[in-house]
Amino acid sequence: MADATPAVEICGLVKDFKTSFRRQMLRAVAGVSIRIEPGEVYGLIGPNGSGKSTTMKALLGLVAPTAGTCAIFGQDSLRVDSRREVGFLPENPYFYKHLSGAETLRFYGRLCGMRGPVLADRVSELLALVDLESARDRRLGGYSKGMLQRIGLAQALVQDPRLLILDEPTAGVDPIGSRQIRDLIFKLRERGITVFLCSHLLEQVQEVCDHVGIIFQGKMVKEGRLEDLIAIEDQTEIVLRDASPELVAQITALVANSPEAALVRTGKPRTTLERLFLRETLRDDP
Amino acid sequence: MKRWRRPLIVFLAALLAGAVRMPFEAALTGELRAEGLLPGHLPIGTLDKIGQTGAVVALGGLRTLVATFFNLRAFTFFTECRWDDVADTYDVIVELAPQTIYYWEAGAAHQAYNASSYYLNDSDLPPLRREAAWRAAVQKGRAFLERGIRNNPGNPKLNAYLGYLLTDGKKSRAFRDADATYLAAAEAYKIAAESPEALPFFRRFQLYALARVASREAEALALARQLYQASSNRTPTLQCVYFALEVHANPSLIDPVSFALSIFGPPEKAYVTLSNYWLRGGERLPVHGVARALKSLETKLAIPADKSVFVRHPVQEGEDE
Amino acid sequence: MSPTPVSPARSNRGSHCGRISVIATHAFTQLVRMKVFYFLAVFAVIVIGSNFFDLPQHVGPEAAGTNVLNSIKSWSIGTMSLFSVVFAIVATALLLPKDVEDRTLYTILAKPVPRIDYLAGKLLGVLLLVFVSLALMDVLMTVVLQIRTSMILSGQMEMAHSRGWPAAEIASLRADILRQGPNASLQGAVWAVFLRASIMASLALLISTFSTSTLFTSITSFLIYFIGYFQADARDIFLESGTAGTGWVARTVSLFVSLVLPDFHLFNVIDAVIQGQAMPLIRLWELTGIGLFYAVFYVLASWFIFAEKEF
């Protein structure tokens, strides 16, 4: 019962910006095409200045394409109605500092046409989802960076969109906060919400996304399913726990007997610094 | 040049919108001016005098506020007896707030009363110059008041004040042609009396002014008769003026004493009223038959000669008819 | 993956008025929290201080005291004028750049909010604040004026009675004093002050759509405000002096200026009302109509430019 309409369809997007020199135009995006099916988590990665943010903004109608089209669930991005289905979290957002968490969500909810008990319920639901209920009446001026990102995520979800666009969702957030955001994205994926995010924190993209596109100097240089892209095709990994040295020797011998396969390496796999950090810090939480 | 297209379109649209709204604005401006709600343009000279900040405030919308400041300044000049500065300042004030009657009254009063008195009594001028300066100040006050009336035609307060100034006995020698002056006073009081906010005494004062003009006694009598109809008008002065005018009109037919009694009532009252009137001889009010009536009343009431009113004010030549 | 049912959150489309009022109330609270209302304390001091600009009388007893009423009115309305124009310009000038800088604009435009709703909402928020401030100042002025008028009235009535003035004169004196006190036309003058501020706010909105700096927007708006006044006077002075050949260029320029810029000269009715003239209601309607014309035109022009703006 998948929707035939893709969640996002960008065809041949070209965007030129005028620089201070009259003649020269800066081509920020040079013919990018992206197709995201509903329910996918798509990551757009690339170095700074590669055109990620511009592509997202074109999708949201914040900039008008020089050439090409962008569509969200079939509706052209330049139309206001296309944004009914979209929630957007910009990079490093500052929300209105004088509002509290709940007031912020109420504000955005009312902008989308929600009001009354429907809105109130939704606000509570979202605050629970992003784990900010304890801070619901605190002014945003007193929120930490991680909390701001979470409230930003809640704001993006306020009208229950089918597509979520996240620009650098974990930039500047500590590992605990990052982990929370990633868990949220997983939860949203389970609900069937399409997520389109861009980041240059590659490890995090690797954990969350199932589709990836690499953009460089305004062009897509690689695109596809994550598993397909990063699998080192000719290598296989087996990780054992509590394996005796005899078992390891047996497996090594098996490989040695196989005609094509060759043993690349054995040894102790490394944990990541992030896991170590989380293990140490979360253990101290009451 | 695509980037300039939109602002250019806006500019052209603004021109068009301006052309559309011009006739409405012009019509509204005309209507507002006619209703006295919109002041005229400030002449350039005034802008100079106000100075830059003042000009900005005045043009920016609050001339009355600037006028308030200048009023304070005028008051300071007044306390320092700098009469030219007072006059100049009031010129500016009335340009800014021409419809505030108070400023016209104050400006005129400062010249006609305060400045004139100063020149006459307190200044260091030699005697001949004093009289000339006094006269100039009084005339300046009159001119200012007349200008105020031109700006606020029909205003009862200003017109009444002009009438008051022109009939003020102490100021009469400042104005050359006495008859013309009293006629102007009568006219001013008449205009004042015609206003819906007129006070009752305006008509009476119109009469008194008119009665002082030698050639207009018939007109004055008609007015006196009209006023005499209403008992609220029968003030002592009116009664005396009416008496004198009637006697003048019918010199042989009316016995002054009995006529006086018919107007004033008991002989004592008649005597007192007419005596007071007689003592106001310097005001040039008509006194036809008053002396005769007084003499008869003195005989009738057996008033001793040393207490006669004629001791204080003897009959002058031509006064006794 | 089961199809997501249409949640109640998504089914309501919202309306222009709803969105505009959300943005407007939000802009209002944002501005209020900038502690703008502290200015009202200053205003209160000015109004009450203007009570003391009382000169000793040297005209006649009948003029006694009404001049201070004039003083109270011109001080109060002068301050209201100044405040409302300054505030209208500065508040509008900072709202848009602030949103762009803080990137909160993206979050708003990423919702289904048409750009005209955004502009209209911000403008209305500013106008709401100006209106509330003017209303509070108006109340204060009227109260002070009423108190002072009563004091003068009782003093004058006492004087008139003690001197035995006839009834007609006393009634005339009373009517004269009351005419200088608070009345409906004075409220009309305050409304005219509000109209003028509204025009300036919408003009500032237009300028802020193509300028990125609050300072530039504010300064340009103030300049236009003053030119708008000068141009009516200067143009007529210029035309009256009537230099034929050499004036051609200047005359064309001033013609353009008078077409494009608002004619604030009409709002000088405020002066006449302070001096005691009555303003008929129909004139107030006409002024309101003209103010509305300007405001709507500038908002539409702002939208025209803002619609293609990229962020």
Note whether residue B252 is domain-resident.
yes
Tell me if C85 sits within 8 A of C196, measured CB to CB.
Answer: yes
* Domain total of chain B: 1
Instruction: Provide the domain limits for residue B296.
Output: 234-321
CB B147 within 8 A of CB B158: no
Neighbours of chain A (3+ CB pairs under 8 A): C
User: What's the CA gap between C83 and C44, in Å, rounded?
Assistant: 13
Indicate whether C61 pLDDT > 80: no
Q: Which residue among C12, C112, C311 sits closest to A62, beta carbon to beta carbon?
A: C311
**pLDDT band of B296, cuts 50, 70, 90:** confident
Task: Give Dmax (Cα) for chain B.
Answer: 112
**B35 contacts in chain C (CB < 8 Å):** 277, 280, 283
| Distance between CA atoms of residues C208 and C201, nearest Å | 10
- Using DSSP's 3-state secondary structure scheme, residue B98 falls into coil
d(CA B314, CA B157): 37
Q: Distance between terminal CA atoms of chain A?
A: 44
What pLDDT does residue B254 have?
Answer: 66
pLDDT of residue C1: 42
Structure confidence at residue C233 (pLDDT): 63
Highest mean pLDDT among A268-272, B91-95, B230-234: B91-95
Give the per-residue pLDDT at A200: 80
How does the average pLDDT of chain B come out, rounded?
Answer: 84
The total of other beta-carbon atoms located within 10 Å of residue A216's CB is 14
- Look at A91-105, C91-105, C157-171, C288-302 and tell me which has the smallest mean pLDDT: C157-171
Check pLDDT > 80 for residue A62.
yes
Helix (H) or strand (E) holding A165: strand A163-167
Rg (CA), chain A: 22
Write the residue in C9, C107, C108 that is nearest to A160 by C-beta.
C9
Q: Are B59 and C233 inside 8 Å of each other by CB?
A: yes
Spatial distance between the Cα atoms of C203 and C274, rounded to a whole number of angstroms: 27
pLDDT confidence tier of residue C9, bands split at 50, 70 and 90: low
> In chain B, whose CA is at the least distance from the CA of C305?
B6
CA within 13 Å, CB half, C117: 22
What CA–CA distance (Å, rounded) separates A85 from C4?
Answer: 12
pLDDT of residue B258 exceeding 60: yes
Q: Quick check: C296 contacting B, CB < 8 Å?
A: no
Contact at 8 Å (CB) between A198 and A31? no
Domains, chain A: 8-230 (3.40.50.300), 245-283 (no CATH)
pLDDT band at B191 (very low <50, low <70, confident <90, very high): very high
Least confident of A47-51, A281-285, C261-265: A281-285
Q: Is C26 on the interface with B (CB under 8 A)?
A: no
Domain boundaries, chain C: 16-307
Tell whether the model's pLDDT for residue A108 goes beyond 60.
yes
Convert the pLDDT of each residue in B31-63 to its tens digit.
888 887 877 766 766 766 676 666 666 655 678
Q: How far apart are the first and last CA of chain B?
A: 100
Partners of C291 on chain B (C-beta within 8 Å) are none
pLDDT of residue A194: 93
> pTM of the prediction?
0.81
Query: Is B84 within the bounds of a domain?
Result: no
pLDDT in tens, B102-137: 899 999 999 999 999 999 888 788 888 888 999 999
Structure tokens at B53: 């900040």
Do the strands A211-216 and A219-225 form a parallel or antiparallel pair, or are they unpaired?
A: antiparallel
Residue of higher predicted confidence among A279 and C8: A279
- pLDDT score of C7: 57
Instruction: Tell me the C-alpha to C-alpha distance, in Å, between residue B98 and each of B151, C62, C230, C271.
Output: 7, 19, 20, 10
Q: Which of A96, A140, A195 to mutate to test the interface with C (most CBs of C within 10 A)?
A: A96
Q: What is the tens place of the pLDDT at every residue in A71-102?
A: 999 889 888 888 888 999 888 877 888 889 99
Q: Is residue B281 part of a domain?
A: yes
For residue B162, pLDDT over 70 is answered with yes
**C116 contacts in chain A (CB < 8 Å):** none
Q: Which of C110, C308, C311 sits opposite A88 (nearest CB)?
A: C110
